[in-house]
Structure 1
Amino acid sequence: MRSVDFAPADLIGFGSAALAAVGVPQAHAQLTSRSLVAADSRGISSHGLLRLPLYIEAIRAGGINATPTLTWSAGSAAVAVLDADGALGQVAMSAAVDRVAALASQSGVGAVAVQNSTHYGAGAYWSDRLVAEGMIGIVTSTTGPTVTPFGGSQKLLGTNPLTVAAPSVGAVPLTLDMATSNGAYGKVVAARNEGTEIPAGWAVDKDGRPTVDPAAALAGALLPFGGVKGSGLAVLLEALSASLTEAAFAFETEDIWVNRSSRMNTGHLVLALDTAAFTGRDHTERRVAHLQQRIRGSAGPGQSALAPGDAERATAARHEGHVPLAPTTVELLDELAQSLGLTLPAPRPPSDPT
């Protein structure tokens, strides 16, 4: 299915206008729109503008607070807790990243736990901000209930994303950004919208039977990656994201995908290690670059080996100057534009056959 290309600035402007139209302050609207467009430019469409109509509907229904009051409490010199008051996840995470960077600059390490938040988009968007400050960043979050534990049949866990990033020479960080489910929930939604199947092993239907039908998967449950090991990691990330605050576990949550008025009380945990406090930023960047080079150089004949984050950055470089959207996403955005009295930007001439 051929994608439809748009200028990045046009999409950011449209997303900002759409959010502002439902009462989101301009700075918050701009931040959120930028994060969504950045995900699309990296090929992570499940966390891109596909979600904008959901955010708008949840704001209108009360599931997301367009004008939150962020409240801080401190646990120690290196720790802080943020109550996000139902904010857009991007708004909560921007504040959390700024605070954790300041804490790590003072103490060498910093930790911020967040409660009463919502979906924050792609995790790499936030770890990149920490890496730019010479820090190693670790980010994780709860989500709505979508995943069954290994051996289970009930939706008890979220897709529980994990992002870990370390600075490297040349501003090309080593970045792992992954869900702990075999596939991201947003990718299943995108497959349903596009009328395509999902890969085998991603999900079971409501009766616990394996399925490649995204609609049946959404009615059933996603599966953790890596069997018992991936399931164990998902459970631990659930604990880290929600047990340090009053944030809700996935099984205590009604997802805004299901009920737009649901206050999900999503929990995040953001950790930062200031490399300057250890052996120095230059040392860490050189060592990480050496590791990346060895990984890339390990490919066998006719193969390629990528360090974590390489694929997404290559996609972003290929999409420089344009952002491809799936036709089904364009249809959703056009419907959203009409409902808000806005106009979707005109697409650019095709430049990417994907």
Structure 2
Amino acid sequence: MTCFFNADNRQEREKTRMSETVLLSLEEAQSLSLTVLQHNGFSPAHAQAITRSVLAAQRDECHSHGLYRLIGCVETARNGGVDTHALPDVIDQAPGVVRIDAQRGCSLLAFETGLPMLIEKARRQGLAAMAINRCFHFSALWSEVEAISSQGLVGIAMTPTHPFVAPAGGTRPLLGTNPLAFSWPRPESPPYTFDFATSEVARGEIELRRRAGESIPTHWAMDAEGNPTSDPTKALAGAMRTFGGHKGSALSTMIELMAGPLIGDVLGHETTPANTEGTGKPLHGELVVALCPQAFLGSEADHHLRHAETLFDDILGQGARLPSQRRFEARERTMRYGMSLPKTLVDELNSLMN
């Protein structure tokens, strides 16, 4: 059946759509985030670090890690799962290693606190690692690796999560969504960055579909009985799938090991979200690695970084796109027009200040 719509119909649909969204400037979104967090007990330092992360994600239209994440932050704080005033402890562990004890605080302030030492060590040694322990982690990793590449270094980051994902061939949650991020500095362009969960999709994407009353592709997850499901509610109660079958499962396992036992922290299946009973165990670790092209290459570093551009040119020359290209385009739109948020989300965030 072919349907024809006149201009009046289009205008009515646009009015309906606009009534369901709220347009905020970056400054208004920042103020909203800071107010919500500090009203719920987060110190100014933690509130500012969290706001920088969620605002960057919202600005780049990464909705699953944007202002929506404030709801989980507040819930975790109210359930005693995070110390909202913790001061990270920086430990100079070894010539190429810095350790940060987050002291049960949010990972973002711990990352920002340890970043200068990580960069200094990487420039001196060629490569360096930062282990963040006992942290509450909820955020996208791309903003962290881009903080490294903005200094002319190559950044890698990984972290386990709570057990939401079944290993390839399994049906029960054991692995986390276990994201991996990478950022490569480019001489005259935004960095080459990717950040992806080793599950088929980030868990936040399923949560957003549930909130919107939408279905999900059946290959994303299984229900509690191990059957493929298009129902996001059943998926959240069941198990997500790894991407690429056994390949994603192997990468997920690697991340569990490197950001868990290697840095003296827990495995994802040993954690649980904070809850009202106070029995949750939401803390785990994160591993961040920085590599310095100048230390590897000396005076030839600029030549080889420009040589790398031929790869990116050839990718684009085939009509393909680079990871994060959509993000950078979204960033330009936001800087020009502001950010559009679901009215239901803005209302829920405002309710957190009651």
Q: Equivalents in 1 of 2:222, 2:96: separation in Å? A: 42
Q: Would you say 1:290 and 2:305 are equivalent positions?
A: no
Q: Equivalents in 2 of 1:136, 1:119: separation in Å? A: 22
Pairwise CA distance, 1:76: 1.6
Number of the residue aligned with 1:335:
351
Q: Would you say 1:324 and 2:340 are equivalent positions?
A: yes
- Higher-Rg structure is 2
The answer to whether the Cα contact below 8 Å between 1:62 and 1:263 also exists between their aligned partners in 2 is no
TM-score between the two structures when normalised by the length of structure 2: 0.89
When you count helix as a share of all residues, which structure comes out higher?
2
Inter-CA distance 38–211: structure 2 relative to 1 (3 Å threshold): same
Inter-CA distance 145–281: structure 2 relative to 1 (3 Å threshold): same
Of 322, 333, 337, the match for 1:307: 322
**Secondary structure of the corresponding residue to residue 65 of structure 1:** coil
Pairwise CA distance, 1:10: 0.9
Inter-CA distance 120–94: structure 2 relative to 1 (3 Å threshold): farther
Of 234, 238, 246, the match for 1:228: 246
**Percentage of pairs with the same residue:** 32
Q: Equivalents in 2 of 1:224, 1:89: separation in Å? A: 25
Pairwise CA distance, 1:260: 7.4
Pairwise CA distance, 1:236: 0.6
- Could you list the structure 1 runs, at least 4 aligned residues long, displaced by more than 6 angstroms after superposition: 257-261
Number of the residue aligned with 2:219:
201
- Relative contact order, CA 8 A, sep 6+: which one is greater? 1
Number of the residue aligned with 2:258:
240
Give the length in aligned residue pairs.
333
Number of the residue aligned with 1:345:
none
Matches within 5 A, 1:1-354: 3-256=21-274, 262-279=280-297, 281-299=301-319, 305-321=320-336, 322-337=338-353, 339=354
Q: Equivalents in 1 of 2:325, 2:275: separation in Å? A: 31
Q: Equivalents in 1 of 2:208, 2:171: separation in Å? A: 23
Q: Which amino acid aligns with 1:210?
A: P
Q: Equivalents in 2 of 1:38, 1:165: separation in Å? A: 16
Q: Which amino acid aligns with 1:57?
A: E
Q: Which amino acid aligns with 1:10?
A: E
Q: Equivalents in 2 of 1:67, 1:243: separation in Å? A: 27
Pairwise CA distance, 1:126: 0.6
Q: Output the aligned Cα RMSD.
A: 1.9
Q: Equivalents in 1 of 2:214, 2:96: separation in Å? A: 47
Unaligned runs of 5+ in 2: 1-16
The answer to whether the Cα contact below 8 Å between 2:79 and 2:275 also exists between their aligned partners in 1 is no
TM-score between the two structures when normalised by the length of structure 1: 0.89
The answer to whether the Cα contact below 8 Å between 2:58 and 2:65 also exists between their aligned partners in 1 is yes
**Secondary structure of the corresponding residue to residue 288 of structure 2:** strand
The answer to whether the Cα contact below 8 Å between 2:223 and 2:234 also exists between their aligned partners in 1 is yes
